[in-house]
Amino acid sequence: MELCFVGAAGTVTGSKTLLRIADRNVLVDCGLFQGVKNLRNRNWAPPPFNVRGLDAVVLTHAHIDHSGYLPVLVRQGYAGPVYCTPATRDLCEILLLDSAHLEEEEADFLNRHGKSKHHPALPLFTTDDARRAIERLTPQAFDTPFEVCPGVQVTFWHAGHILGAAMAQVDVDGRRILFSGDLGRTDDPIMPAPANPETPDLLVLESTYGDRLHDRTDPGAQLAEILHRTFARGGSVIVPAFAVGRVQSLLYWIARLKSAGEMPDVPVYLDSPMAISVTKTYSSHLADQRLSALECAQMCNAATFVTSVDQSKWLDTRAMPAIIIAGSGMATGGRVLHHLKAMSGNWRNTVLFTGFQAPGTRGSTMVNGGSEVKIFGDYVHVNAEVVQLDTLSAHADYGETLNWLSKFHKPVGGIFLNHGEPAAADSLRRRIADRFGWPCKVVEPMESVCLDPSTSARNGDSHEEGEHRED
């Protein structure tokens, strides 16, 4: 038995872990690399494993860094099932088709303007590739074991994080391996807290916030304060937002503030076709969230849905205060760029970012005090107030992760940390060692670990003891 960390090792993107058991091969997650160019270039390299030799793919959730490589995998010849939860299946259909459209749109733009060294520039995958990948999605219920190939059984447990997100427990040859996927927050108002499965023999654990604790400020109070001071000066709030999870959290808090009379009666617009589709999906999966049917309906009805381009353009001509929520979350594309170009020069307005802004993005430039950003070839002065709301994270911080680990009834035989930047992952390793004393290591890109019965996360790591003495 062997684990190979194909992606999300040393970084927080491109999640792929290959589990080999004799002649059986299961890929857990199938994500795209996103972010800086040297990471994105990895998406174009041939898969470092035999695609046709895969027996199954298991998805923990729908985010593109966990599911977005599926169309490429199918185009390369994968014809087997892709197991996921029902909500993940519905979200993947929305996200994969949208990603394919963006790939095709970018290739067309490069070809029309001669801006690529490739002739012609090609999309990483097409809409047809995405549709074929969607056909492979095979929904499975939470808390119910199912066989993915002979002798290999998987159980999905609630991970929180986003709608449909799961941990994947793999039982094979008398051993239990748990893949955490992305762990959610303990007290998220929409998503359930991560489940507490039986203690695994081995754990593959994300480490996104392994070196950070989240701000515990009440998100509703923080949002209300931002809205009040913007509307008091006659301005509007423009929110570059992530379509899955973050938009819905924002709508939830807006609905709460409206219901409590704690925000002015100003119109709210959701100007993102993808986010609209995702939001509607929530009402079809009430069992996967904390919200009641009424609360979910209030969240979904907290904004007016803007679907047409003409409606979107009209928003930039309004003189009265409003909240405009539009993708993308880091202002790298989407309809929000038009709103930023039209409105970020006005000191009365506020640009509200609701999540992490990767270096090099417009969002990063703005939250770090940049006085101008380039949009559609023109430099736009930023005179609007720019605020980053850090209280809506969907990832567990290190405190929540350690608390989750503490609920296992016996020591975990070995922990492999992935899906984290090096400093965050190593910080979490040290904290786990200090608190529990369990074998734990940070995995390297393309590292393979042989899982014989005596394997722990310390075996095969020649540096572990030296690092432990330095601790």
pLDDT band of residue 456 (cuts 50, 70, 90) is low
Nearest alpha-carbon partner for 172 in 282, 58, 286:
58
What is the tens place of the pLDDT at every residue in 150-201?
999 999 999 999 999 999 999 999 999 999 999 999 999 999 999 999 999 9
User: Region 212-238: what's the mean pLDDT?
Assistant: 95
pLDDT band of residue 461 (cuts 50, 70, 90) is very low
Q: What is the percent of the chain with per-residue pLDDT over 90, rounded to a whole number?
A: 84
Chain centroid to Cα 2, Å, comes to 26
Quick one: angle between helices 86-113 and 273-282, nearest 10? Answer: 180
Indicate whether 96 pLDDT > 80. yes
Neighbouring residues of 362: CB distance < 8 A, sequence distance ≥ 6: 330, 331, 332, 337, 340, 373, 374, 375
pLDDT band of residue 455 (cuts 50, 70, 90) is low
Give me the domains of the chain, ranges plus CATH numbers.
Answer: 2-212+394-450 (3.60.15.10), 219-388 (3.40.50.10890)
Indicate whether 210 pLDDT > 50. yes
CA distance 173 to 57: 19
* Eight-state DSSP code of residue 266: -
What is the tens place of the pLDDT at every residue in 420-431?
999 999 999 999
Q: Which helix (H) or strand (E) holds 251?
A: helix 246-259
Q: What is the percent of the chain with per-residue pLDDT over 70, rounded to a whole number?
A: 96
What is the tens place of the pLDDT at every residue in 356-400?
787 778 999 999 999 999 998 899 999 999 999 989 999 999 999
Find residue 138's DSSP bridge partners: 83
Q: Are 243 and 274 in contact (CB under 8 A)?
A: yes
Res 460: pLDDT: 40
What is the tens place of the pLDDT at every residue in 279-295?
999 999 999 999 999 99
Res 453: pLDDT: 65
Res 115: pLDDT: 72
CA distance 300 to 178: 34
Which pair of tokens denotes residue 349?
A: 């307005």
Nearest alpha-carbon partner for 223 in 264, 258, 253:
253
